[in-house]
Structure 1
Amino acid sequence: MLLACRCGTNTIDAVEALATCIYVAYCNWFPTRGHLNGLVDPSHSYSKLSFFSNPVFPFRQVRTPLSPRPPDPRARITMLAPVARLAAKRLLEIRAALGASPSIASSSSATASRSLSTALNYHLDSPDNNPDMPWEFSEANKEKVKEILSHYPSNYKQSAVIPLLDLAQQQHGGWLPVSAMNAVAKVIEVAPIRVYEVATFYTMFNRAKVGKYHLLVCGTTPCMIRGSRDIEEALLNHLGVKRNEVTKDGLFSVGEMECMGCCVNAPMITVADYSKGSEGYTYNYYEDVTPKRVIEIVEMLKRGEAPPVGTQNPNRIRGGPAGGNTTLLGEPKPPPCRDLDAC
């Protein structure tokens, strides 16, 4: 169904293909029930299906009987194999057609505009993200790779996969192409799938393009109660993008992050700054923000300025209460039953 939802004009075709496979399987396993009022002869198995020759109802096609229905369930499974192969071939054709679509091939932002869920779930080759693209760590980062590997025993290089992926993401402007994952796999001497498993599990690894300043709005309960949805809406409207899209100038993108540990200063956002590569990478928190304040922060970043990090409430000091302390105003009294000076 995920494929069907992503096939655009081929959605109906994909759904019909899926429905046909399910129905034929049903007919094979339940010969007395799955005949749809005689539209399909339940006494035969079918493998040569023409999915799309009838636009109204694909099951009305006349099929050539291959053999009488065998009583052995294992034989029924064998008869379903051609159907599965045909369905897989058709779905691959749909995917190929989708990948060759001019609107996708010519759009430089096709990968960036994919929703976060699809960007996390699967990989689609594109001109700027495919296994044939050359990718390697820069000379400066190769030294960092050696330093990272030195923290682990030589027979446990694979334990360095997360910091190495993070370094690769910083070098590549905030996201990980599949060729970068392959490069990390070579460094730690594992199969590439082992690196893919990590990169697709942790949401802080971006597998689609992000802006040089990637703005992440906390969406967990304390921030939500304090207005994080309004903050995200203000950012999206001001930048003219949807969530996980990149602005036309390539500077900004907006995403959502779960709890980042600043609940006392909710709501908050973080800004992953990839504008200076891995050498100048920063990941800064901005707390006690308002819709007006986050727009001011964006404009400061656009001008190349550095907004003050931490709380944006002038009446607070770090995580302290607004207006200053209301309790513990002096030195606490020692317990009367213990001589602390004697310790």
Structure 2
Amino acid sequence: MLSRVVVVLPPLTETFELGVACEVFGVDRRDDGVPVYELTLVSAVPGPVHTRHGYDIAAAHDLSKLDDADLIIVSAGNMEPAESATEARAVARVLDALRAAVARGVPVASLCTGAFMLGAAGLLDGRRCTTHWRHAAALAEQFPLARVDPSVLYVADFPIYTSAGTAASIDLCLHLVREWDSAGSANAIARRMVVAPHREGGQAQFVNRPLPSATGYSLGDVREWMRQNLRDNVTIADLAKMAGMSTRTFARLFVDETGTTPLRWLNDQRVLAAQHLLESTRVSLEFIAHEVGFSSAASMRTHFLRLRHVTPLEYRRVFGLKELVDNPSSTSVAATAPQH
């Protein structure tokens, strides 16, 4: 059971993620049956903590608080190397303290870009982990022994926990309460925060991730035709004939320009078109599957899970327009993929 929670504030602390940790672990909710946590803020460098938003935060406690912590959270902040020798020495002491805590079996969690500090401490080596999808590639490059998964909201790999960007900090903090205290406590905190106690899916559903851009233009007309005719059951031979080249040459050039195969690209475009209809209509899943060219709702579900990591129904539950009626004849739909 958690009692003493210590949050490490890195240079240029991001205040949203810090606020999440304070909200989950720093509010007295005994009236809801939630244990009271002793929350302590510790600065990674001496003096007031400078935030990225132009104001300072006073963290009155020193690193000795990490020695007695039941849980250590590294909040989001600066990912760049230390700007001075003094800062570098201070951060090095934090990294030593984090390694010592893990050696004692104390859980250590990072929120968003806080994962870079865990990486610098060597705590991500050989572990699956995550961070904000915009910084996942940089995390993997800086710490090649880490197994970075940019598609999830958080990763629990005891004693290391990492979250994706911004609001995913809520998901991880609630998970920590659920795992170390109880599901009842996590649900009570979620109700008070007016958030879901557990979100389905991963951060891939929130990424504006268009399919790979073409590096050339020779197949642009073919791809546009494919977008406008998603319901057509075409073969690579049909597309190659349209492009005026052999099947083998067409397939090779398509991969060169888009980074994927023609069939995979076409099914991804169908998912994007289905996503648009799920957001803007209440028509049935079977109707949408037919409109965008899938053979069935089950087939659409398979490809939707692959690309968006949630089912079509789960996606509609989060992003759909609630006021539309479930009546295909009353909604104008177009079986073409939205442009990106």
The interval holding the TM-score normalised by the smaller chain is under 0.3
User: Which structure would you say has the larger RCO, counting Cα contacts within 8 Å and 6 or more residues apart?
Assistant: 2
Q: TM-score by structure 2 length?
A: 0.26
